[in-house]
Amino acid sequence: MSSAPVGGRRADAVRNRHLALEAATALVSESTATLTVEAIAKRAGLGAGTVVRAFGSKDALLDAAVSDLLRPVVDRARELLARAEPDRALRTFLAELMDFQSAHHGISNELRGLAVPTTTELRAELEQAVRAMIAGAQRTGTIRTDLAPDILADLIGQTAFAIARLGTGLADAYLTVLMDGLRPPTSANAEPTVSPA
Amino acid sequence: MSSAPVGGRRADAVRNRHLALEAATALVSESTATLTVEAIAKRAGLGAGTVVRAFGSKDALLDAAVSDLLRPVVDRARELLARAEPDRALRTFLAELMDFQSAHHGISNELRGLAVPTTTELRAELEQAVRAMIAGAQRTGTIRTDLAPDILADLIGQTAFAIARLGTGLADAYLTVLMDGLRPPTSANAEPTVSPA
DNA sequence: GATAAATGGAATAGCTGTTCCAGTTGACTA
DNA sequence: TAGTCAACTGGAACAGCTATTCCATTTATC
């Protein structure tokens, strides 16, 4: 009679799925890595067929890998949103996001034109958290209100993911410029077209 | 006896080279276009072999196409640098660069990992002009001096090309935030960690 | 020990840049 | 204008790469 596991997959299939995901996650993090199925399989010590079969397609595997990297970032954004003052939450979160981007700057580049539904959803959640931070900071007066929170959140979301190639030094400078640019405009910098010196 | 044109190429070869370049330039500008040799050849009304032969390789053709798009931008930067006050030159140029990016946002995406020496050189020239604008604006006191001009120029160069996907509305907001962030820090926004309201 | 699930890696299919070549065309001569 | 010849052309053939499928063999489960 039948002897297969009734409810789920076989133990080795489960283990290999984990191995494939780990290998993919590792390779996605490395900016120089070539993201072929063959490379992932080799890294995982598996055959190419096994790797694809575990997730259905290469895209689905990459989606899972990137989502695994992104989920803690989303959680961290929500935590900061809940616990910290909006302005400080935003600054802290952006600093950490820059670090994340510097550490895994293969992510943005490799995902163009891929079907990554989970990753897309996580990015939307991330932007929502940022939007809440901005709205809060606008309420407390630490961020300019002449630009809509949706615009600013969209702006930050787009740029933060676009600038994956920035090194640490540049990321710091960018964060400084960005945060200062988000401040409410003062009479000192509102219309500085003519040199004051 | 020999009857070939001694000095140069045949007229049809010259004409087809132009056609190939025009087609490539048009396709590079369209963000949704698939940039295959076949597609370029079809657009130009030529055979694939003719297109490749005219430039030696697909990469060389794309390099030429992108450089053609970029050269006027570089010229414009130099013109503004020479004629306008540094701060205004920078603002005007960045606004125009954003427009350019919005209009041709296929450019940045398609060039990853390609050998495009001329394009690379033009970008370097562009950054040099921006660096000069920044240094000038720092001298007149309209741009912060706590960050080195090299850092700022690098920052602007990287971000300006990274954010190709920004729509017009976002580009305006980005420019506003960026320019305000570049202003000299005031006591009002220097340490606004605690909400003043 | 029986059996179905799972595996590895070869075979397949699809895509794309480059090369090749039989046929065409422009340039020059007389 | 007609003739010639080399440059040039289109597009088929080729080569390289990669995701996916397939299947003979192995392995986990009962």
pLDDT tens figures, B29-44: 887 888 999 999 999 9
Is the CB atom of residue A72 positioned under 7 angstroms from any atom of strand C?
Answer: no
Q: What percent of chain A has pLDDT over 90?
A: 68
Distance of CA B20 to the CA centre of its chain: 21
Q: What percent of chain A has pLDDT over 70?
A: 90
Kindly give, in sequence order, each residue whose CB lies less than 8 Å from that of residue A168, ignoring residues fewer than 6 positions away: A99, A102
DSSP state of B182: H
Cβ neighbours of A193 in B, within 8 Å = 85, 87-88
CB A63 within 8 A of CB A115: yes
Per-residue pLDDT tens digits for A54-99: 999 999 999 999 999 999 999 999 999 999 999 999 999 999 998 8
The tokens describing B109, both together, are 């995406």
CA B55/CA B72 separation, integer angstroms: 22
Q: Does B124 touch chain A (CB under 8 A)?
A: no
The tokens describing B190, both together, are 């220097």
Q: Does B82 touch chain A (CB under 8 A)?
A: no
Contact B163 A166 (CB under 8 A): no
Q: Does A87 touch chain B (CB under 8 A)?
A: yes
Chain B: nearest CA to A102, how far in angstroms?
A: 14
**Which long-range contacts (C-beta less than 8 Å, at least 24 apart) are formed by B134-137?**
B134/B86, B134/B90, B135/B86, B136/B81, B136/B85, B136/B86, B136/B87, B136/B89, B137/B86, B137/B87, B137/B90, B137/B182
Per-residue pLDDT tens digits for A128-177: 999 999 999 999 999 999 999 999 998 988 888 777 777 788 889 999 99
Q: Does A85 touch chain B (CB under 8 A)?
A: yes
Contact B177 A147 (CB under 8 A): yes
Burial class (CB in 10 A: 0-12, 13-18, 19+), B168: exposed
Contact A141 B197 (CB under 8 A): yes
Mean per-residue pLDDT over chain B, rounded: 88
**Average pLDDT score over residue span A37-47:** 98
Contact A173 B85 (CB under 8 A): no
Chain B: nearest CA to A4, how far in angstroms?
A: 47
Kindly give, in sequence order, each residue whose CB lies less than 8 Å from that of residue B65, ignoring residues fewer than 6 positions away: B21, B24, B25, B28
Per-residue pLDDT tens digits for B105-148: 767 777 777 899 999 999 999 999 999 999 999 999 999 999 99
Separation between the CA of B21 and the C1’ of D7 (whole angstroms): 20
Q: Does A168 touch chain B (CB under 8 A)?
A: no
CB A147 within 8 A of CB B180: no
CB B87 within 8 A of CB A192: yes
Dmax (CA) for chain A in angstroms is: 92
pLDDT tier, A37 (very low <50, low <70, confident <90, very high otherwise): very high
pLDDT tier, A119 (very low <50, low <70, confident <90, very high otherwise): very high
Which residue is the nearest neighbor of C25, CA to C1'? Answer: B12
Task: Give the residue on A whose Cα is nearest the Cα of B166.
Answer: A158
Distances (CA, A) of A146 to A117, A197, B129, B143, B176: 34, 28, 31, 22, 10
| Residue whose tokens read 């050189």 | B121
Mutate which: B35, B85, B102, B155, vs A, most A CBs within 10 A? B155
Q: Does A150 touch chain B (CB under 8 A)?
A: no
Contact B181 A186 (CB under 8 A): no
CA B78/CA A49 separation, integer angstroms: 55
Is the CB atom of residue B2 positioned under 7 angstroms from any atom of strand C?
Answer: no
pTM over 0.75: yes
CA A21/CA A100 separation, integer angstroms: 19
CB B193 within 8 A of CB A86: no
Nearest-by-Cβ selection for A181 from B177, B186, B192: B177
Chain A: nearest CA to B153, how far in angstroms?
A: 10
Amino acid making up residue A180: D
Q: Which chain D nucleotides are covered by protein, judged by CB under 7 A?
A: 3-13, 17-23, 27-30
Give which of B179, B8, B23 is closest to B98, Cα–Cα.
Answer: B179
Kindly give, in sequence order, each residue whose CB lies less than 8 Å from that of residue A82, ignoring residues fewer than 6 positions away: none
How close are the terminal C-alpha atoms of chain B, in Å? 91
Examine the pLDDT at B7 and tell me if it is beyond 70.
Answer: no
| Residue whose tokens read 């890998």 | A65
